[in-house]
Amino acid sequence: MKVTMEKRDLSSLTTLVYRAASTKNTIPVLAGLLIETSSDKGLVMTATDMEIGIKASSTSVEIIEPGSVLVNAHYFADFIKLLPDGPVTLELNKDKAKLNITYGRSSGSINIYRDYEYPDLPLEKMQAKMSISQKILKEALRKTSLAAAVTHFRQVFTGVLFDIIDSNTLKVVASDTHRLACFSHTLDGVETEPFRFIIPTRSVNELLRILDDNDELINIAFSENNVIFAKDSFIILSRLIEGQYPNYDQVIPSTFNTSFKVNTAVLAETLERARTMPTDDKLKIQYVRFNINENEILVNAYSEMMGEIEEVIENITLNGDTDVQIAFNTNYFLDVIKIFTSECEEIQIQLSGALGPALIQNPKKDNYLYVLVPLRTNN
């Protein structure tokens, strides 16, 4: 194998793919990046740790001699990223089991995996299911994945649910049982049978890295116990999380005692300052207390070790019960406020009692909602 490619193109392609390689030592070849070259497909890179797989290709390459090689993905990516701009030549030396890398008058070499059996991505039985705008999918994942659990004894809560609830309505949902985020979208084109699937947040993070902010479609297909997202010359394959996702509609409150609107930027700045207070020693959670009356909100953050912050947010628009006291996890609240700061001047917060879940929304759009469960505090 021998090819020449501009460093910029080679590094971009490598950066797309290499993160799917394993960082564990259990099966050595899974730490590899498979590089294949041919006159019809150009240069194709594949990486997988059997949980997630990424394949991408480029025709912006000069194929001098077709072939394939498996190298350590993370080392190769780190090395290529640091090369100077200009053409880079990759040449396999089978006798010495090395991949020679030449750039200008300089060169390096990387040991290769010999006599490897690299697993094929299960793409042959791929069944197309639906297509969606990259821009919409990116927005849906960005606004929901933050609510997924990092770890949980029920694995479904560590992923993001895609729920097609009728022929053309998609709901993307994530929850760690303390909060829930739900994004709704009406699908265009062919009607789709109702179905649902759950993907790990790691796969979501990789998707967010490659999705573009445009209306070009990304295709979603299934193969065995995997979901495949494909666009142009790029494929990301993810294992599915098995298990039944709970009925999230039951978590979303429908009746409220208090509803108020507040300036998004002002609330965001207040919560940022409140977050400077250290974690409460009793709850082990940073929390902020709201005392809500007819015209203003008194926001309090307290730390027995460090001190206290009290701020007043004026000019709120309130309906329903007044003199409400309620406490929330500061970081969970701030996560969603940061999302809203870029899209709406005011947010609407609806409360179903001091211990009931709160519903947070953009009052001018109903396709996204965030449910936050209050905290019990002794103060």
pLDDT, tens only, 74-131: 999 999 999 999 999 999 999 999 999 999 999 999 999 987 889 999 888 889 889 9
Domain range for 367: 253-372
Residue 104 region by backbone torsions, left for phi larger than 0, else alpha for psi between -120 and 50, else beta: left
- Examine the domain organization and report whether 139 and 245 are in the same domain: yes
| 127 domain residue, yes or no | no
| 122 domain residue, yes or no | no
Task: Give the model's pLDDT for residue 305.
Answer: 81
Q: Residue 340 is which amino acid?
A: F
| 104 domain residue, yes or no | yes
| Among 111, 142, 169, residue at a domain's last position | 111
- Examine the domain organization and report whether 28 and 94 are in the same domain: yes
Task: Give the model's pLDDT for residue 357.
Answer: 96
- Examine the domain organization and report whether 167 and 271 are in the same domain: no
Q: What 8-state DSSP symbol labels residue 93?
A: E
- Examine the domain organization and report whether 101 and 151 are in the same domain: no
Spatial contact of 368 and 184, defined as CB atoms under 8 Å apart: yes
Q: Residue 136 is which amino acid?
A: I
| 317 domain residue, yes or no | yes
Task: Give the model's pLDDT for residue 329.
Answer: 95
Which CATH number do you get for residue 41? 3.10.150.10
Residue with tokens 């025709």: 59
- Examine the domain organization and report whether 366 and 342 are in the same domain: yes
- Examine the domain organization and report whether 259 and 245 are in the same domain: no
**Residue 260 burial class via C-beta count within 10 angstroms: exposed 0-12, middle 13-18, buried 19 and up:** buried
pLDDT, tens only, 175-219: 999 999 999 999 887 677 889 999 999 999 999 999 999 999 999
- Examine the domain organization and report whether 268 and 358 are in the same domain: yes
- What total of structural domains would you count in the chain? 3
- Examine the domain organization and report whether 285 and 329 are in the same domain: yes
Q: Residue 102 is which amino acid?
A: T
* Distance between CA atoms of residues 15 and 22, nearest Å: 15
- Examine the domain organization and report whether 224 and 292 are in the same domain: no
pLDDT, tens only, 218-271: 999 998 899 999 998 899 999 999 999 999 999 999 999 999 999 999 999 999
